[in-house]
Structures are given as C-alpha cells and as structure tokens.
Structure 1
Amino acid sequence: MRKRDPGSAPQLGDRVPYVFIKKPKNTPAYEKAEDPLYVLDNSVPIDAEHYLHHSLENPLLRIFEPVLGETKAKSVLFKGDHTRVKAVTTSKVGGLFKFTQKRETCMGCKAAMPKGVEGNICPSCKENEIELYLSQKAELDDLRIDFNKLWSQCQRCQKHMQKEVLCSNCDCPIFYRRKKIRSDLVKAENLLAKFGPVDW
C-alpha cells in the first residue's frame, strides 16, 4: 500500500481494513493482506479457502454437528463435489498479467472473437443478437436498481437526499457493496455500448 500511494498509506496505530488474496501456499498472512478497494478495482482474486476454513468452518460445524453428527458434518459440508466449483477471476495486476494480451470474446458463446470482426458477437451467434442485447440490458437495469437502492440508503444515512454521497466509512458493508456494484455497472454499460446503435 505504501509503494502504491505513500500519502494514503496507513500510519502506525491506524486501523486498516484488509482482505486475504490468493497467493502461493505458505505465504505469510501479512503478504496476503490487501486493501479491499484495491482488490475491487483490480479484480484481484480473494482467498476463499482461507475464509472458508478460518471464518465459516467452526460456526457451521457448531450448527450442523448436533443434526448430522461430528464426523459426518465435516465430510458433508466441506468435502465432495459441491466444493470443487470455483469462480476464477482474472486479475488486472500481477506478474503474468504483463505478458498476456487481451482479446474480445463473444457475448454469446464466450469464444475469442476472430480477427477483423467488429463488435462483440461472433458470426455464429449473430442470429441471437436481439436476445443477447435484451439479456444484457436486463442485467444493466438490475444493477442500476441495486445501485440506486444502496445510494438511497447512503443518502438516508447522511440525512440528506439531495447531496452527493461523501461516505468513506470502510466499516459499513454498504460502502463496499456500492463500490462493487458501481464497477459492475460500468462494465455492463461498456458491454451494452459495444452493440452500437440499435436498428432492428
């Protein structure tokens, strides 16, 4: 944090919000800790295994052990096919990212777009363009509704409905949700803009 921005880096005795990010095994915890806003802005993957085993496992076992039994609760909850699915986020920072080359993908089949093809839909998905546009528009509308609800909540919290929200309270869960939805909203608007002018 100090390397990125010495002016806003925490000082001795400051309370610092952090999340654990994915790093190689046996990395010390202080090297895995990262600023939540930086993680949101740069799509740095969070270490879900750490949170599962250090934050959720014991409370869930206390709840389910009386019902399922001591040994069965652990095997049912934390082992099996349902634990093998992972969402993979692509980080915008890091060593390998410098060597990657970004290519557009088709919104329908998610295949890499052929060179020389404009837009965001490959020729094989062109017939579904209207459905893809409408689903993207619906997703954008849902994000706008969610963002407006959170924005209104923040306005109520600062007791003024006409002013800009100036909240930077890192302890508030709405703060991070609002930041996340705002970044998702920008991505969704950019995707919708790639359709260009609608002339159906």
Structure 2
Amino acid sequence: MLLIDRDVAGAQEFVKETISDLLQNKVDMSNLVITKALTKESYDAKQAHVELAARMKKRDAGSAPALGDRVAYVIVKGAGGSKNYEKSEDPIYVLENNIPIDTKYYLDNQLAKPLGRIFEPILGEKKAQSLLTGEHTRSISVAAPTMGGLMKFAKKTQTCMGCKKPLVSTSEKEGAVCENCRPRFGELYQKTLSRVSDLEVRFARLWTQCQRCQGSVHNNVICSSRDCPIFYMRMKAKKDVEDAGKELVRFDNDVAAW
C-alpha cells in the first residue's frame, strides 16, 4: 500500500483494523505462532520455548518436543508480573482449553517496532505512535478459559441462543432457548444450522488442502507439522465444528422436551 499504491491513508486504516482485530481475538492463531529450535535443554537465561518443552514433558512425555525439534508456542495471558517465558504455551493446548492469548504482548513486542520503522519517516514519530493508541484499541475481547485458576470453582450455565439470558429453570437449562424466545425457535435453529454448515465447509476445504499436500485425496490426514499455518487453521476449524455441533444438540433437547 505504501510502496506500490502510495496510499498512506489506506495503509494507516489497514494497520488500525489489524490491531483492532488482534485485540478482539479475531486474528487466526496461525499468525501468532512463534517457533524456535530446541538445541539444548538449558540456556544462561530462561527461554520461552525451553520452559514450554519442560512443561509439555511433564504433561505427556511421549508427545513433548525432543532436542533438535522446533517448538511452536504462543504467548498467553498470565498472572500480573509473569515473565514471557512463563506465559508460553502449546497452540493446540490453547485451542483445546480456550486459553486467552496475551494480545497486548503481540502488539507491544511484535508490531510496535516494525510499524514505527515503517511509518515514522512518513508520518513523523508522534503520528506513527498514534497508530498504537486511540479508539481502535479500546475494544478488547478475552476468551473465557475452560480450565485452571478460578475456573475450577466456576459453574457453567447455558445461555439462551436468542437473548443470551442464563437458562436456570429445569425445563430450560438443557435446551437452546428461553420461554420468551421460543417463538423464534425455527429462526434460531436455521441460523445455527447455517453456521454449522459454513464451518463444516471450511474444515473440509482445509482437510482437502492437507490431503493434497500429502499427495493423496483418498487417505486420512496424518500431518502434524507445527510449522505449517494450515495445521493450526485445520485444528481450529475442527474444534469450531465440534462446538457448533453441541449447540445443535441443545435444539434437539428442546424438541425432545416439548
């Protein structure tokens, strides 16, 4: 946009939209994965990928990275004052447990300096810094983790698929809608069904892409390359399909109850 189109305003808007998407957890995890080679088990200073490899070994020694492997990780939210090496986590583990990403880390440590080097000669230091602050940075979304911390004491409550009201009565809590939204049952079911269909199509396309990479569209995908962005897209798409399928089951429970 800057070098070819010379569109300075468009480039600024693109950066603001990207930062906004990052802070609202709309950026695909495959763009946030960092990989480093595990060349030795200890360093003079603690390293994020080495500490993660040690934690993964405690969880499951069979699947943990070994010396010579590349360790893929993302930086997740941690307790106040946590070091970055304490906040590194396996991307698949993060997906499976819905652990919130530390989006501020990526903004401050991965984007801020490169954006400054690109925009400061064009806009000046003050205007370039304004790309990192302002209205587009005020909306922040944090995923609700499914394990660890206070979640061990939390009790999960289903909410209505229409108005998002908690379903607490015995007749409602296993279903999809509350009494007030029951007239919209068909509309909400069709909307959820359409969403499931779209997610299944996305997963099927990613699956086929991986099959082609393997060299056959007739065999199951066995690739687990942690350096490949499609791998994480496929795993995320698979989880999205499973979660959306659970929402459809709630509609079935409603029909059975009636």
Shorter-chain TM-score above 0.5: yes
- RMSD between aligned alpha carbons? 1.8
In the TM superposition, residue 26 of structure 1 has moved relative to its aligned partner by 2.3
Shift in CA distance, 67/145, structure 1 to aligned 2, threshold 3 Å: farther
2:89 matched to which residue of 1? 34
1:125 matched to which residue of 2? 181
2:155 pairs with 1:101: yes
Q: Do 1:136 and 1:192's aligned partners in 2 also have CA atoms closer than 8 Å?
A: yes
Q: If the length of structure 1 is used for normalisation, what is the TM-score?
A: 0.92
Specify every segment of 5 or more residues in structure 2 that has no aligned partner in the other structure, as ranges.
Answer: 1-55
CA distance in 1, matches of 2:238, 2:90: 18
Match of 2:113 among 35, 39, 58: 58
CA distance in 2, matches of 1:157, 1:120: 40
Q: Do 2:157 and 2:168's aligned partners in 1 also have CA atoms closer than 8 Å?
A: no
Q: Give SS of 1:16's match.
A: strand
In the TM superposition, residue 179 of structure 1 has moved relative to its aligned partner by 0.2
1:193 matched to which residue of 2? 249
2:114 pairs with 1:69: no
Specify every segment of 5 or more residues in structure 1 that has no aligned partner in the other structure, as ranges.
Answer: none
In the TM superposition, residue 109 of structure 1 has moved relative to its aligned partner by 1.3
Provide the aligned length of Structure 1 versus Structure 2: 198
2:132 matched to which residue of 1? 78
Q: If the length of structure 2 is used for normalisation, what is the TM-score?
A: 0.72
Match of 1:18 among 63, 73, 85: 73
CA distance in 2, matches of 1:27, 1:163: 44
Q: Do 2:73 and 2:91's aligned partners in 1 also have CA atoms closer than 8 Å?
A: yes
Shift in CA distance, 23/186, structure 1 to aligned 2, threshold 3 Å: same
Q: Do 1:18 and 1:34's aligned partners in 2 also have CA atoms closer than 8 Å?
A: yes
CA distance in 2, matches of 1:168, 1:79: 38
Deviations 1:16-40 (A, max 9, x none): 1111110123212221111111001
1:112 matched to which residue of 2? 166
Q: Kindly report which structure 2 residues correspond to 1:154-193, keeping only aligned pairs within 5 A, or say none.
A: 154-193=210-249
Q: Percent identity?
A: 49
